[in-house]
Amino acid sequence: MLDLRVENLCAGYGAKTVLNDLSVHIPSGRITAIVGANGCGKSTLLRCLARLHRPASGQVRLGNHELGTLSTAALSRRVGFLPQFPQAPAGLRVASLVALGRHPHRRLLHRWSSEDEEAVQEALRLTDLTEFAQQPLDTLSGGQRQRAWLAMMLAQSTPVLLLDEPGSMLDPGHQLELLALLRALADTGRTVVVVLHDLIAARHADWLVALDHGELAACGTPGEVLTEDLLRRLYGIDSRILRAPDDSPVVVPLRALNTPAPVPRPLPRSIEANAKRAAKPPATAEPALTKERRLLLLLAALQFTHLLDYMVLMPLGAEVMRAFDIGPARFGSLVGVYTLASALASLAGGRLLDRGDRKRTVLTLYSGFIVATLACATAAGFESLLAARALAGGCAGLINAAVMAIIADGIEPARRGRAIGTVMSAFGLCAVIGVPTGLWLASLGGWRIPFFAVAALSALLWIGLRFGLPRAPASAVATRGRLTESSLALGWLLSFGIVFAGFLIVPYLGAHLNGTLGVALHDMSWIYLCAGLATFLAARWIGRAADRFGAARVLALLMLTSIVPHLWLTQLQPGPLAQTALVFMLFMVLTSTRAIPASAWLISRVPPPLRGRYLAINTASTDAASGLAAWSAGLITSVDASGALQHFERSGWLAAGVTLLTLGLLGWLQLRSTPKLATES
Ligand SMILES: Nc1ncnc2c1ncn2[C@@H]1O[C@H](COP(=O)(O)OP(=O)(O)OP(=O)(O)O)[C@@H](O)[C@H]1O
């Protein structure tokens, strides 16, 4: 499989620059459509990809080769190019034209082989031209001629196909056939690149590259790229985006913005009434934003339930230990097994997330989670409780990855930060409302009641998800793609670094506040509550900032500023409660909200077919980071006889160092990466 990488490409004609510092990745095994206004440089880009136009600077890489280093013969066996206006000698027959496609495969003095003949016949068959094989090309209709050129390209049997507006003269039936043919070619692993003007056909592509005056305006799935804002910017048109039955976007151009709006002329009354009726949206149509809000609320509620299930066990430790007659070590294993199972399930089961319908996957995993929570509430002994926690953790890990994949699939990039902020505010809500309510329920009827309550709440939510979650088919090409590509794999390291730095400090905060700083237990619950509230409020705000200024920039800023409370809090001496509370809140807000731009940044870089698996491994990476960090911090700190935490400042320095290294990694990845979205910093 050969993908194409355009790196800092500048190209033009004489003094005129057409493509300006363009960097973009064109994946293999998919249909990529290049869109943009007339003259923005689409054909020039395609010609550069075919090495028919020499760039002024920058390069195009084909798989592992720089395009310029390939011999002409090697290139023509790899890349087929169909120009916008191909020219053929007068009188050339269709079969002879198609046979020209075999040229790169034929050696000097070698006879026409049966393989060549088969390739030509197959190409004629696929383009529905067998009956015209012996007819001169110039006696065919425009659309038939276009298909003949396509047949020539198919006979060339190259792994990369570049087509400049291949369907511009085809009737709807042949257009759909062409798209099905391109789909079949992409499904065999070929790289298919088409220049398109037809935005309705663009929804059939897997990946869109939108150019604006020779620069990358956007890049992503049709759902991500085809927005009303972008179409206004690219084409200067007012448009609406509707949804096809498969939920892909259908562009309806309404009017060019530089043409005056039509002057309303009075209509006969009956026509006016009809027009008004027609203009009203049907009662059943739901505005896209309402749908999006509902989706985010459901996902936030989903996160809330499994976070609560995880978080509420810890403060119930004393009662659970009494109930099962176990010590702190065995209780610790109840907490640890949850994270371990989450990591293992994410590593082993991530592939599930890219198969079939994500909604069905989430409902199945959530059923498992509900069963596990009920099993926890009714556990008769320590072993069954341990098994129930492992099952809950395994399901929760995969649910977490699936939630992020659903956001990536369903929310356009310009609003993803906000969406992730909304869903992640579940964490703050859990601390402010969930855990205290759970503890209150436990005080009424024992430690099992909160788990019964979580199971009941989850069962209700399951019904809400069953009816409220849109179907979300994972990509059909899910099994392809390179997950281990270095810039993707380093994304896991970035998540690891961010979580590792935080968890060097977080698990020991209780001991630090109470043991070292002398904060009374009832004050501590207030401090935690305020920090939870501040995190809840900041989450959406940080998400908005990520959308507005770019996820990478906001993440870098949060990482840099979080170093201050890392060092401050870990070196804090006993002092006024208000000061302690303030530093603590600053720490919690800056540390926990880093996950928002980090997630938005990560998911914008992952090709859609790999999202589920990628995010699952990311969950495993953050689980591992939290466990490893807590363990490492345990080695460098100790508790003295008075209960004060010793050498906690070492954890602070280590966290600051790890944060700086991770910041360096972010900068390096940003510099070398291909921008998926021009709006991303
Ligand atoms: N051979 C050439 N010599 C000089 N200028 C050229 C040449 N070919 C293209 N251009 C100019 O380069 C710019 C980009 O052209 P290109 O054909 O790449 O645009 P495009 O996006 O494919 O447009 P369209 O949608 O109209 O096909 C245009 O301004 C065009 O006039």
**Token code pair at residue 600:** 């938005």
* Closest Cα to atom 20 of ligand 1: 39
What confidence tier does 480 reach under pLDDT thresholds 50, 70, 90? very low
What SS3 class is residue 328? helix
Is the ipTM higher than 0.95? The answer is yes
Give the domain-ending residue among 448, 474, 500. 474
* Closest Cα to atom 30 of ligand 1: 39
Q: How many Å apart are CA 38 and CA 41, to the nearest integer?
A: 8
Q: How many Å apart are CA 409 and CA 221, to the nearest integer?
A: 9
On whether the CB atoms of residues 11 and 87 are closer than 8 A, the answer is: no
* Closest Cα to atom 7 of ligand 1: 13
Q: How far is the CA of 501 from the centre of ligand 1 (A)?
A: 51
Q: Is the domain of 207 the same as that of 303? A: no
Q: For residue 607, is it left (φ>0), alpha (ψ between -120 and 50) or beta? A: beta
Q: Which atom of ligand 1 is nearest to the CA of 12?
A: 12
Tens-place pLDDT, residues 389-424: 999 999 999 999 999 888 887 777 778 888 999 999
What confidence tier does 261 reach under pLDDT thresholds 50, 70, 90? low
On whether the CB atoms of residues 94 and 148 are closer than 8 A, the answer is: yes
Closest CA to 363 of 284, 489, 462: 462
> Is the confidence at residue 374, as pLDDT, over 90?
yes
pLDDT at position 293 is: 85
**Token code pair at residue 310:** 């995880």
Q: Which atom of ligand 1 is nearest to the CA of 197?
A: 25
DSSP string for residues in 104-156: GGPPTTPPPPHHHHHHHHHHHHHTT-GGGTTSBGGGS-HHHHHHHHHHHHHHT
| Domain-embedded: residue 269 | no
Q: How far is the CA of 71 from the centre of ligand 1 (A)?
A: 27
On whether the CB atoms of residues 19 and 26 are closer than 8 A, the answer is: no
> Is the confidence at residue 6, as pLDDT, over 80?
yes
On whether the CB atoms of residues 21 and 10 are closer than 8 A, the answer is: yes
What confidence tier does 283 reach under pLDDT thresholds 50, 70, 90? very low
Query: Sign (positive/negative) of CA torsion 284, 290, 292, 294?
Result: negative
> Is the confidence at residue 272, as pLDDT, over 70?
no
pLDDT at position 509 is: 84
Q: Is the domain of 460 the same as that of 361? A: yes
Tens-place pLDDT, residues 83-125: 878 877 777 899 888 888 887 776 555 666 777 888 888 888 8
Structural domains in the chain (count): 3
> Is the confidence at residue 676, as pLDDT, over 60?
no
Q: For residue 522, is it left (φ>0), alpha (ψ between -120 and 50) or beta? A: alpha
> Is the confidence at residue 474, as pLDDT, over 60?
no
Question: Which residue bears the tokens 């300006």?
Answer: 20
> Is the confidence at residue 681, as pLDDT, over 50?
no
Averaged pLDDT score across all residues of the chain: 84
Q: Would you give the end-to-end CA distance of the chain in angstroms? A: 30
Q: How far is the CA of 55 from the centre of ligand 1 (A)?
A: 14
| Domain-embedded: residue 595 | yes
Rounded mean pLDDT, 141-156: 86
Q: How far is the CA of 39 from the centre of ligand 1 (A)?
A: 5
Q: How far is the CA of 52 from the centre of ligand 1 (A)?
A: 14
Q: Is the domain of 180 the same as that of 94? A: yes
Predicted model pTM: 0.57
Tens-place pLDDT, residues 521-574: 778 878 888 988 999 899 989 999 988 888 889 999 999 999 999 999 999 999
* Closest Cα to atom 10 of ligand 1: 13
Tens-place pLDDT, residues 210-254: 998 988 888 888 888 888 888 888 888 888 888 877 778 888 888
> Is the confidence at residue 327, as pLDDT, over 60?
yes
pLDDT at position 597 is: 94
Q: How many Å apart are CA 329 and CA 15, to the nearest integer?
A: 73
Q: Is the domain of 470 the same as that of 528? A: no
* Closest Cα to atom 1 of ligand 1: 13
Angstrom CA distances, 636 to 346, 647, 652, stand at: 30, 7, 11
Give the domain-ending residue among 451, 474, 497. 474
pLDDT at position 32 is: 93
* Closest Cα to atom 31 of ligand 1: 39
Pair type for strands 160-164 and 16-26: unpaired
Q: Is the domain of 297 the same as that of 225? A: no
> Is the confidence at residue 649, as pLDDT, over 90?
yes
pLDDT at position 203 is: 86
Q: Is the domain of 518 the same as that of 615? A: yes
pLDDT at position 372 is: 96
* Closest Cα to atom 28 of ligand 1: 39
Q: Is the domain of 576 the same as that of 650? A: yes
Question: Where is mean pLDDT largest: 103-107, 116-120, 181-185, 306-310?
Answer: 306-310
Question: Which residue bears the tokens 């870990």?
Answer: 570
Mutate to test the pocket of ligand 1, among 38, 44, 209 (most ligand atoms within 8 A of CB): 44
Residue 513 DSSP code: I
* Closest Cα to atom 29 of ligand 1: 39
Pair type for strands 57-62 and 31-35: unpaired
Q: How far is the CA of 164 from the centre of ligand 1 (A)?
A: 12
**Least confident stretch, 146-160, 250-264, 425-439:** 250-264
**Token code pair at residue 535:** 């995190």
Q: Is the domain of 546 the same as that of 659? A: yes
> Is the confidence at residue 582, as pLDDT, over 90?
yes
Q: Which residues contact 437 (CB under 8 A, 6 or more apart)?
A: 453
Instruction: Please tell me which residue, 244 or 386, carries the higher pLDDT value.
Output: 386
> Is the confidence at residue 679, as pLDDT, over 50?
no
| Domain-embedded: residue 569 | yes
> Percentage of residues in the chain with pLDDT exceeding 70?
90
Q: How many Å apart are CA 574 and CA 150, to the nearest integer?
A: 77
> Is the confidence at residue 477, as pLDDT, over 80?
no
CATH classification at residue 124: 3.40.50.300
Q: Is the domain of 505 the same as that of 596? A: yes
What confidence tier does 677 reach under pLDDT thresholds 50, 70, 90? very low
Q: Is the domain of 460 the same as that of 503? A: no
| Domain-embedded: residue 267 | no
pLDDT at position 284 is: 44
Q: How far is the CA of 42 from the centre of ligand 1 (A)?
A: 8
Q: Is the domain of 72 the same as that of 188? A: yes
Backbone angles phi, psi at 381, to 5 degrees: -145, 175
Contact residues of ligand 1, CB 6 A cut-off: 13, 16, 18, 36, 38-44
Query: Any idea of the CA torsion for 618, 494, 334, 632, to the nearest 10 degrees?
Result: 150
Mutate to test the pocket of ligand 1, among 9, 10, 16, 54 (most ligand atoms within 8 A of CB): 16
Pair type for strands 79-82 and 4-13: unpaired
Cross-strand bridge partners of residue 26 = 4
Give the domain-ending residue among 256, 276, 310. 256
What confidence tier does 385 reach under pLDDT thresholds 50, 70, 90? very high
Q: How far is the CA of 12 from the centre of ligand 1 (A)?
A: 9
> Is the confidence at residue 263, as pLDDT, over 60?
no
What SS3 class is residue 164? strand
Query: Any idea of the CA torsion for 381, 382, 383, 387, to the nearest 10 degrees?
Result: 100
On whether the CB atoms of residues 26 and 5 are closer than 8 A, the answer is: yes
Pair type for strands 207-212 and 191-195: unpaired
| Domain-embedded: residue 264 | no
Mutate to test the pocket of ligand 1, among 6, 9, 10, 13 (most ligand atoms within 8 A of CB): 13
What SS3 class is residue 239? strand
Mutate to test the pocket of ligand 1, among 35, 40, 197, 234 (most ligand atoms within 8 A of CB): 40
CATH classification at residue 416: 1.20.1250.20
Residue-number span of the structural domain to which 515 is assigned: 482-681
| Domain-embedded: residue 262 | no
Tens-place pLDDT, residues 24-51: 889 888 899 999 999 999 999 999 999 9
Query: Sign (positive/negative) of CA torsion 535, 540, 543, 544?
Result: negative
Q: Which atom of ligand 1 is nearest to the CA of 44?
A: 18
Angstrom CA distances, 498 to 112, 423, 590, 614, 647, stand at: 61, 19, 11, 17, 22
Q: How far is the CA of 37 from the centre of ligand 1 (A)?
A: 11
pLDDT at position 581 is: 92
**Token code pair at residue 229:** 């804002």
> Is the confidence at residue 502, as pLDDT, over 50?
yes
Question: Which residue bears the tokens 């031209």?
Answer: 129
| Domain-embedded: residue 390 | yes
Question: Which residue bears the tokens 């788990």?
Answer: 451
> Is the confidence at residue 585, as pLDDT, over 90?
yes
Q: How far is the CA of 477 from the centre of ligand 1 (A)?
A: 33
| Domain-embedded: residue 268 | no
Q: How far is the CA of 237 from the centre of ligand 1 (A)?
A: 21
> Is the confidence at residue 290, as pLDDT, over 80?
no
Angstrom CA distances, 14 to 17, 23, 56, stand at: 8, 21, 10
Q: Is the domain of 103 the same as that of 196? A: yes
Q: How far is the CA of 44 from the centre of ligand 1 (A)?
A: 6
Question: Which residue bears the tokens 């199945």?
Answer: 364
* Closest Cα to atom 13 of ligand 1: 39
What SS3 class is residue 515? helix
Query: Any idea of the CA torsion for 444, 447, 451, 454, to the nearest 10 degrees?
Result: 40
